[in-house]
Structure 1
Amino acid sequence: MSTAGKDIICRAAVAWEPHKPLSIEQITVAPPKAHEVRIKILASGICGSDNSVLKEIVTSKFPVILGHEAVGQVESVGPGVTCVKPGDKVIPLFIPQCGTCRGCKSPDINFCDKNDLGAKTGLMPDMTSRFTCKGQPIYSLMGTSTFTEYTVVADIAVAKIDPQAPLETCLIGCGFATGYGAAINTAKVTPGSTCAVFGLGGVGFSAIAGCKAAGASRIIGVGTHKEKYPKAIELGATECLNPKDYNKPIYEVICEKTNGGVDYAIECAGRIETMMNALQSTYCGSGVTVVLGVASPSDCLSLNPLLLLTGRTVKGSVFGGYKGEDVPKLVDDYMKKKIDVNFLVRAQLTLDQINKAFELLSSGQGLRSIIVCQPANESNSK
């Protein structure tokens, strides 16, 4: 029996309030309206940004369904949708691509004006929600909300991918693309250059892989979890440094080791101190620093202009500079073994184990846990 045009009752992990575990609830997912797509979520990665929402580092309205890094299958589409059809395998996009705004029209910008990162409405474009639970509407995160068996997104926020793509490609929806693209697209790392990557989590490891792919001759991984060093070396780091091992700032250590500083520094930790260390670890005449880490809204990066006057630059990057149209090619590259995302996967867990996945992320033990959803069957429609 088709579920198109009907409500779907399924399970989702709801964050009722910050600083509390997620609750597995039965929710109702309404049918997609015009230019909307309802997706059966197959798998979703646990990202540090989701944890930042729970910790109120990233602003969001509550109650909310978190998650923005997923792979799924189109269940139904609303009127006017032409980019995908039921049955297509897709990756939801937390950075949409409307194709008409200033950002979308520029080949050098991937930040679409119709994103919900800044607006923080937690709603669909018509300012309503497609989720209800216990009689009240539930907000969405970044227009995606993937910690659920079904979600609804705008048609500008979905990328059709290879139907044979495995569950691991959900990580292309954020973590891998963010780090890898920061090196390739934002920093534009050059062959033979020197790099430093601050923060050895999933994004940091992906940044190391990007630096290696770009041909960097020296890649320094910076992090305090020494058990991660072997994997960093395997991915391309030439050495790893622990700031706690030195009695002076780590940027001084890096500058001493690299004849005045690295060519590129990529910051993936989200701390002001780390951002400053990354900036100061670059060569004063031409160093490029890319900031990826998400800091608290109350944090401010305060620096002396002289740090930039002689030639350094600081750049931000979201989703590694990739547009939605780039996602299918990234998946194709993965299928052809030109890139790899499997190194990010620590464990595959069920939706019921989602709080365990957050615990692993917070402890620094893991990189990414993939939540494998078990979608509601057709009998759950009404």
Structure 2
Amino acid sequence: MNKAKIMVFEGQGQPMSLQEQTIPDLKSGEILVKNLYTSICGSDLHTYCGLRQEKVPTVLGHEIVGEIISFSDDHSKTDHLGNKLNVGDRVTWSIFSSDPDSELSKAGMPQKGERLFKYGHAQVTIDDALHGGLSTHCILKPGTAILGISKEVPLPVAAIINCAVATVAGALRLAGNLSQKTILITGSGLLGMVCAAMCKVAGAGFIHIADINPLRLEQASDFGANETHLLTDSSVQLPGGIDVAFDMSGSADAMENSLSALAIGGKAVWIGAVFNTRKVQVDAESIVRRLITIKGLHNYNFEDFVYAVNFISKNHQVFPFEKVVSKEFSLLDTNEAFKYAVANKPLRVGINLDQQTGQSNG
């Protein structure tokens, strides 16, 4: 068991290739994990389509859940919260590792800390290739938050925790108390669905969700939305009196319109704008006179990650998270999985690492 298989991405328009990699000896503080399941995130698709540049060759995939195979000799064998870890435990981990002693880490922003390493975004080298989800194995580095997760949580649901769910947890942290608040969510992809569910559990009074995709909006009520708004109709106006507006779309139009919808003292939390688009136009006088707050979030901190694991552990059966992955593929069929994701734009496509060939859940 000293070999791993990886699907290597070498650039836009090039098919990913299956390669074999020797599993190296673990360095200080590392854990070897067998990847069980990976879901294809929007940022993976951005890289695949050339909208985002990564150093290549690389192994994509950062929404991962796995099983512990072994620890380095000096590892404490405990998780981020100090709980005991054992070989065979199912775990999820933060999409990054960073120096816990850096100033930004101490300030609650480890995702911007020194010596930052992001899983699923790093270049493959001779001695460091096992750091993505499209691989049979992953080596977890020191500075990574690792948490055990119950095997009762289905693998496709567990996989989305360390990206989409944790990021939304960070957005709610920035928004503050949501009890009885009126919420607007622009963007009904996975982030929007998770946001609706989290807002519902947090006691929001009324949840609006808006998008240009009618098929995605159809699922919104199952995740806690009270009212949906299809924005392709020019006559549709976003509701007013919004206490908190979350943007998950990255659309400049959506962010501008949601600012206009905010009530006096309202908050806008933007997390979708992670790709290049036109600049957002802000009416500064309106922001000042209406006491509006705008906050941005990229990725999340460890507090958010813990919240996300707890949220899914308690609520994975309350909302239809099992429907998030619309189709599964094997590692060998990764190229077909990406083509399907680009063509059909589902919430998520899954890569089941327990499969060797073929497709399922078609």
Measured in 2, the distance between the counterparts of 1:65 and 1:33 equals: 20
- After TM superposition, give the deviation of residue 49 of structure 1 in Å: 1.2
Task: Tell me what 1:350 maps to.
Answer: 330
Secondary structure of 2:3's aligned partner: strand
1:63–1:348: structure 2 CA closer, same or farther, 3 Å change rule? same
Task: Tell me what 2:166 maps to.
Answer: 177
CA displacement 1:192-232 (0-9 Å, x = unmatched): 22111111111111111112122222222111221222310
Task: Tell me what 1:315 maps to.
Answer: 295
8 A Cα contact 1:42 1:375, kept in partner: no
Measured in 1, the distance between the counterparts of 2:102 and 2:228 equals: 42
- After TM superposition, give the deviation of residue 176 of structure 1 in Å: 2.4
Report the AA paired with residue 87 of structure 1: G
Measured in 2, the distance between the counterparts of 1:183 and 1:130 equals: 33
Secondary structure of 1:275's aligned partner: helix
Where do 1:1-382 residues align within 5 Å? 3=1, 8-82=2-76, 83=78, 84-96=85-97, 98-106=99-107, 109=109, 111=111, 113-114=113-114, 116=116, 122=122, 129-131=127-129, 144-162=131-149, 164=151, 165-167=153-155, 168-179=157-168, 181-182=169-170, 184-247=172-235, 253-254=237-238, 257-258=239-240, 261-283=241-263, 285-297=264-276, 300-310=279-289, 311-319=291-299, 322-323=302-303, 324-326=305-307, 328-330=309-311, 332-334=313-315, 341-374=321-354
| TM-score computed with the length of structure 2 as normaliser | 0.82
Measured in 1, the distance between the counterparts of 2:318 and 2:106 equals: 28
Bigger mean CA offset, 54-63 vs 78-87: 78-87
- After TM superposition, give the deviation of residue 355 of structure 1 in Å: 2.9
Measured in 2, the distance between the counterparts of 1:20 and 1:308 equals: 46
Measured in 2, the distance between the counterparts of 1:81 and 1:272 equals: 46
- After TM superposition, give the deviation of residue 375 of structure 1 in Å: 8.3
Report the AA paired with residue 66 of structure 1: L
8 A Cα contact 2:59 2:121, kept in partner: no
1:81–1:325: structure 2 CA closer, same or farther, 3 Å change rule? farther
- After TM superposition, give the deviation of residue 121 of structure 1 in Å: 8.5
1:96–1:366: structure 2 CA closer, same or farther, 3 Å change rule? same
1:115–1:293: structure 2 CA closer, same or farther, 3 Å change rule? farther
Secondary structure of 1:64's aligned partner: coil
1:169–1:72: structure 2 CA closer, same or farther, 3 Å change rule? same
1:215–1:294: structure 2 CA closer, same or farther, 3 Å change rule? same
Measured in 2, the distance between the counterparts of 1:37 and 1:185 equals: 30
Aligned residues, how many?
345
Where in structure 1 are there 5+ consecutive unaligned residues? 132-139, 377-382
Measured in 2, the distance between the counterparts of 1:177 and 1:158 equals: 12
Measured in 2, the distance between the counterparts of 1:325 and 1:234 equals: 24
Percent identity of the aligned residues? 21
Measured in 1, the distance between the counterparts of 2:204 and 2:99 equals: 34
CA displacement 1:222-244 (0-9 Å, x = unmatched): 11221222310121212211221
- After TM superposition, give the deviation of residue 56 of structure 1 in Å: 3.8
Secondary structure of 2:245's aligned partner: strand
| TM-score computed with the length of structure 1 as normaliser | 0.78
Report the AA paired with residue 70 of structure 1: I
Measured in 1, the distance between the counterparts of 2:344 and 2:226 equals: 22
CA displacement 1:355-381 (0-9 Å, x = unmatched): 3333343345411122110389xxxxx
Choose between structure 1 and 2 for higher RCO, CA contacts under 8 A separated by at least 6 residues: 1
Where in structure 2 are there 5+ consecutive unaligned residues? 79-84, 357-362
CA displacement 1:241-287 (0-9 Å, x = unmatched): 1221115xx6xx12xx33xx41111111223333323333322x322
8 A Cα contact 2:51 2:275, kept in partner: yes
1:121–1:200: structure 2 CA closer, same or farther, 3 Å change rule? closer
Measured in 2, the distance between the counterparts of 1:28 and 1:276 equals: 50
